[in-house]
Amino acid sequence: MKVEGWSYMKSKVLVNWQILYGALGIFLLSFTSFVHSSVSNFDFVGGHPRLVFNASGVDETKSHLGAVPLFDASLEQTRKMVDAEMELGIDVPLPKDFSGGYSHERHKRNYIVAQKAGQLFLLLGDEKYAIYIRDMLLQYASIYNDLPLHPKERSYARGKLFWQCLNDSNWLLYMAQAYDAIYSWLPSEQTQTLNTNLFRPFADFISLENPQFFNRIHNHSAWGNAAVGMIGLVMSDEELVERALFGLQDDGIKINAKDNDGGFIKKPGQVTGFIANLEEPFSPDGYYTEGPYYQRYAMYPFLIFAVAMNNVLPDFEVLEYKDGVLFSAVHALLSLTDHNGEFFPLNDAQKGMSVQSASLVSAVNLAYYYGDRDPALLSVVEKQGAVMLNQAGMSAAIAIRDGQTAPYPRTSIHLTDGADGKQGGISVLRDDQAKLDLVFKYTAHGLSHGHYDKLGISVFHAGQEVLQDYGLVRFVNIEEKGGGNYLPENTTWAKQTIAHNTLVLNEKSHFAGDYAVGSQNHSDLYFTGGDASIQIVSAKETNAYEDTELHRTVAIVKKPDLLRPYIVDLYRVSSAKKNQYDLPFYYQGQMIDSSMNVRVPESLIALGKGSGYQHLYVEGSARSSSESESFTWLYGHRFYSLVQASEQDDQRLFVRLGASDPEFNLRRDPGMIWRKENAKSAVFASVLEAHGSYSPVLEMSKDAERNIDRLITLHNDQEFTALKIIYKNSIKPDVLVVANKAAGESKFHSLEIDGVNYRWQGPFLFQPIEG
């Protein structure tokens, strides 16, 4: 009996997967039961190799060898690397180290080299590569069943080869591909030995023996599901493939166990497995709720297993699932990069991760080949300078050789979050000519890797962080720093609200820093809009603090009279009681000038005692005495200025990270915190502009004076907030008005300010002030 395709099954049960999320518990249980009842036999297509690099792909690829420069260069680079490793011999050490230690890195190197050796065997036909893989696998088979759990006990799910099951899954996913490459070459008694003594026990360990790892919605489980499924496809093991797709049906896991940075939370009635991990974390736009850093990491198992399913069990239509969300995900990822191709560091994220990563090379190649052959993807491949050694990589390399490349568009985007696209989202406003990116985050929490930063922003100019998001506190694969794992300050600092460029009430993080509460809430997009002169987006958050609404509107303004565009940031808060409000701006570089009289303390003390405040030294403070204040700094040979609409006695705190950090785990980054005290409703309005330059060679500055003179709050109530932007050099001032309650495009508004009656249609008005 053939397995029904997803499109057929969806119509059978009369369910639209896009609205499934609201009834997830009851429906998914019944849906999974339906699928299981439909699956009595699996029709595995083809012999071996059969996964990502299948037999037809091998023939197709080999027919072009020697005639496609990019592919040939990638092949030669891989051959040199694998040959060098083979000369060193095979080492399968007893596991003992954290990330960065020898045993960890050796086992990691083994699976990477073995997978590449499999590709070389298929392409070049040299049996030395098959022998190398065989001998390595037999060594693993000889020790695996006698291995205890890894001696390092930090993980919620310890592996055998590695300190966590996640890395064991990495090993299995790669080794499945190496095994597939030589499966038909091996004598049957050796495949039987490897199946029985290595691969089936390995798959059972990851899944049956670690349900708290395997049965969850998280990038960890995506790796585990895909790894078990891949080896199931190699061995034609129906049980493993079904387990991978739909999870364990009776895992015995305690409901609502507390999450602890990679721990486990399971919702009542939650269905898991690969399909559930495709459904829940991805929005219809392809945004992955954990953020781009972990989306980049997870795209490899998602796409590799989906393509393997497409080749071996095509009736499941996994690549087509959720309207081909995996292809949308690749484009979403590419859109979440700066001008250097580095991913915006949202949630837990290591800065510097970019499209050059191996997982993105495979993701872009596979999206091009199995998707719509978008020529814009080829420009990314060109930048990466390498391709996969299979038919997908060859196809992209041929298209590049034949001049089919098109530029990848760097336009403003608005990506939804949540399985149904209704849990907030993220916007990136861009001016590509000025190389300016404004990132605005109003998403759901982001699972265990999420941060408490509703309505946070960051700004990038020419690939530089002008206003930064801290990212994660972890030195990945540096054993000397906590075994390369997350450090305590990731929780006490990086996840806390004060670590981000967003509003904090009474020195307490959003949702009081409670993961369970934060995970149940999300911000909401209020409106987007704009024209040639202004791009604007607005969002609200009503659950971060009790009886309090946070409302932030950000915009990029392009004015013909100015050399560069500038950013407007309007943050309005309204609460039922009086509070202390803190809005940080974590700038990069050296303070140059301030309109305020900054007082420097004789000694450094921490700003507070918890919620991240304990990590900030106060280096200076100032009280405002004007309706507009300014602050200028120098970074990367460029000047940047913040001009802010202020009120009497507003406070600015100049802070630096590093307090309560005895192990020096935190960067010593500067910041400026704008504080308003004893207020119910408040407006924090700022304009950020880049201007001028400084040459250390010529020792000369140019245009160090900002172009925006002042920013004034003209009006603020429940209905409207209005700003006046005053320029230098006799340029007419502008007014920006935001309708705080009615965001409809067809809604007409009227507001009188200083005797002038402003009338407009839509959620905002931006125009010059006459007279």
Judge whether residue 22 has pLDDT over 70. no
Residue 74 has a pLDDT of 98
- The model's pTM is 0.92
| Total structural domains within the chain | 1
pLDDT class of 27 with cuts at 50, 70, 90: very low
Judge whether residue 256 has pLDDT over 60. no
Sign of the dihedral through C-alpha 594, 595, 601, 607:
negative
Asked, for residue 91, whether it belongs to a domain, the answer is: no
pLDDT one-digit tens code per residue, 55-83: 999 999 999 999 999 999 999 999 999 99
Sole residue written with tokens 């049957």 = 188
pLDDT one-digit tens code per residue, 396-430: 999 999 999 999 999 999 999 999 999 999 999 99
Q: 3-state DSSP call for residue 10?
A: helix
How many CB atoms neighbour CB 170 within 10 A? 24
By DSSP bridging, strand 616-623 and strand 464-467 are: unpaired
Number of residues assigned to the chain: 771
Mean pLDDT, the chain, integer = 92
Judge whether residue 138 has pLDDT over 80. yes
According to DSSP H, which parts of 489-630 are helical? 489, 515-518
Distance CA 506, CA 504 (A): 7
Asked, for residue 243, whether it belongs to a domain, the answer is: no
Judge whether residue 357 has pLDDT over 60. yes
SS3 content of the chain, % helix, strand, coil (to 5): 35, 25, 40
Six-digit token pair at 593?
């000038």
Six-digit token pair at 266?
């399971």
Domain CATH for 511: 2.70.98.70
Six-digit token pair at 3?
């397995």
Sign of the dihedral through C-alpha 538, 542, 545, 546:
positive
How many CB atoms neighbour CB 256 within 10 A? 12
449 in catalytic set: yes
294 in catalytic set: yes
Burial class (CB in 10 A: 0-12, 13-18, 19+), 354: middle
Judge whether residue 6 has pLDDT over 90. no
Judge whether residue 36 has pLDDT over 60. no
pLDDT one-digit tens code per residue, 660-694: 999 999 999 999 999 999 999 999 999 999 999 99
Asked, for residue 726, whether it belongs to a domain, the answer is: yes
Six-digit token pair at 453?
């930063």
- Whether residue 211 has a cis bond before it, omega within 30° of 0: no
CB environment 277-307: b (16+ within 10 A), e (fewer): bbbbbbbbbbbbbbbbbbbbbbbbbbbbbbb
Q: Within 13 Å of residue 53, how many CA atoms lie on the same side as its CB? A: 29
Residue 388 has a pLDDT of 98
Asked, for residue 123, whether it belongs to a domain, the answer is: no
Asked, for residue 53, whether it belongs to a domain, the answer is: no
Asked, for residue 351, whether it belongs to a domain, the answer is: no
Residue 770 has a pLDDT of 76
Cα Rg, the chain, nearest whole Å: 28
Distance CA 10, CA 224 (A): 26
Asked, for residue 349, whether it belongs to a domain, the answer is: no
Judge whether residue 37 has pLDDT over 80. no
Of 132, 140, 174, 294, catalytic: 294
Domain membership of residue 612 as a residue range: 413-768
CB environment 408-440: b (16+ within 10 A), e (fewer): bebebbebbbbbbbbbbbbbbbbbeebbbbbbb
Distance CA 356, CA 381 (A): 9
Residue 66 has a pLDDT of 97
Distance CA 106, CA 128 (A): 21
pLDDT class of 268 with cuts at 50, 70, 90: low
Asked, for residue 366, whether it belongs to a domain, the answer is: no
Which is nearest to 757 in space by CA: 717, 722, 710?
Answer: 722
Q: DSSP for 421-455?
A: S-S-EEEEEEETTTTEEEEEEE-B--GGG--S-TT
Residue 42 has a pLDDT of 85
Of 449, 461, 510, 715, catalytic: 449
Judge whether residue 153 has pLDDT over 50. yes
